[in-house]
Amino acid sequence: MTADFDQIAPNLIDSFELEPDSAKKKVSAFPHPPLTVVICVDHAATTGGQAKVAADSAIGLKRQGHRPILFAAAGPIAPELEAAGVEVICLGQDDLHGNASRMAAAIQGTWNFEAGAALGRLLASLPRATTIVHVHGWAKALSAAIAPPIRASGLPAIYTFHEYSLFCPSGGFYNYPKSAICHLEPLSAACWLSQCNPWSYGRKLWKNTRLLVAQKGARLPEAFSDFITISDFQREIVTLLLPRGAHLHRLSNPVSVADLGPKSDPLSGDIIFIGRISLEKGPLLFAEAARKIGMSPTFIGDGPSLPDLVAQYPEARILGWQSGDQVRDLMRASRALVFPSLWYEGQPLTVLEAKALGVPVIVADTCAGRDEVEDGVTGLWFKGGDANDLACALVALREDAKVAAMSAAAYRAYWADPRTIEHHTEGLVSIYHGMLDEHRAKVPEKSAVRTSIDSIRAAARHEGM
């Protein structure tokens, strides 16, 4: 069927041009064909929240009958992608931190020639009418080299903000040596002079250079017509930085968590920290606040600040990295979760998972996690970076009645609007169709007819599978 259609397509285009009205009627009679979505992300493995969301969205799209293609620089490939039958193109490269050569990493991070060429070949092979490019990450392996092939393809493209690498050299608007939010204008003279990263000033200069290449050379932000923010807090941060005319969408990340029902014992367990033990996540702040009230804090995770945590707060209970099931069980058994992050964040999945399990959350009011916590109802806010105020919140959770009420309210609030993969996928597909409709409206009529031909061809191939 596909071969016959390819043979008659040119004549069909000519006949459509002779009778445009009837042609439009014929094309509109066909249902929407499955979408092809090229999902670009640094890692094919679920190394963090960014990669997990990319993988989950690919699996969700596959389940709904679409054709996701996950394009990544660094492996290995997540087994859940293979189990779901998702197409994966992985270049088998190291990411910047895993590369043994600092020089090779610097070159790759500035311009990954292999990734740019491979993406260009992929996009050139896909149907024009039903393909979307969706970028989740570029700064850890792919580089800004993905921008020219995206623009050259002419395909609609969208970018999800998991962090802020598109506009900030460090990716987080955060000054690591000062342990504080950075309010400098990105790439301004003051930004170039500021030593804001946790390593050397030389690395800071390279990061500035990389962003300069991405913005001015590759024009990476301009490769996208649409952007997704994953929290209202994040939307406030990026709105004024977007290219003129860009469309901004709000779509929560998906969360993979089972409904275990309300907690039967909300008053038992420790108050815990879960996540990467690094300065910007605030583990030392939690430990200091706990010490002020004579509490031994519990930490689940690992990271570069673990030695400092152990040395400065020997009373802390360190459980290290745990499996997904173990983390769920430990969180479910806890009295509360503390999320003391010092940087903006995007949308912390840990906060959502805690609510789903009926666990109250104490969250810094200066990070995106606050969007998911109703102060005094499903958890407590504290002044970001303030150990004394965090200590007050910890004391407040000694009241059993308050903890029990917050546990029940957190559970109800999450399951009233669960962030399932299905819900996330439906939101994505709606955004994608809107992008394709707008894209078609901008092309000349002959191109629009040819686009419709591509749609019919795609539908025919899908039926022939």
Distances in whole angstroms, Cα of residue 61 to Cα of each of 49, 124, 135: 18, 21, 15
Can you give the C-alpha Rg of the chain in angstroms? 24
- DSSP assignment of 277-317 equals -SGGG-HHHHHHHHHHTT---EEE---TTHHHHHHH-TTSE
Q: pLDDT at position 256, please?
A: 86
pLDDT averaged per 10 residues in sequence order, the chain, 465 residues: 36 34 36 90 92 96 98 97 98 94 96 98 97 98 98 98 96 93 96 94 97 97 98 94 95 93 95 95 98 97 95 97 92 98 94 97 97 98 98 98 98 96 96 95 58 52 50
Assigned token pair, 317: 């209970």
Neighbouring C-beta atoms of residue 187, cutoff 10 Å: 17
Burial class (CB in 10 A: 0-12, 13-18, 19+), 74: buried
Q: Can you give the pTM of this predicted structure?
A: 0.85
Q: pLDDT at position 20, please?
A: 37
Q: pLDDT at position 462, please?
A: 52
Packing angle of the helix pair 2-18, 445-464 (nearest 10 deg): 160
Query: Cα-flanking dihedrals φ and ψ of residue 364, to 5°?
Result: -70, 135
The label of the residue with tokens 């059993």 reads 400
Q: pLDDT at position 5, please?
A: 33
Assigned token pair, 315: 């009373």
Long-range Cβ pairs for the range 11-20 (8 Å, 24+): 12/453, 13/446, 13/449, 13/450, 13/453, 16/449, 17/446, 17/449, 20/445, 20/449
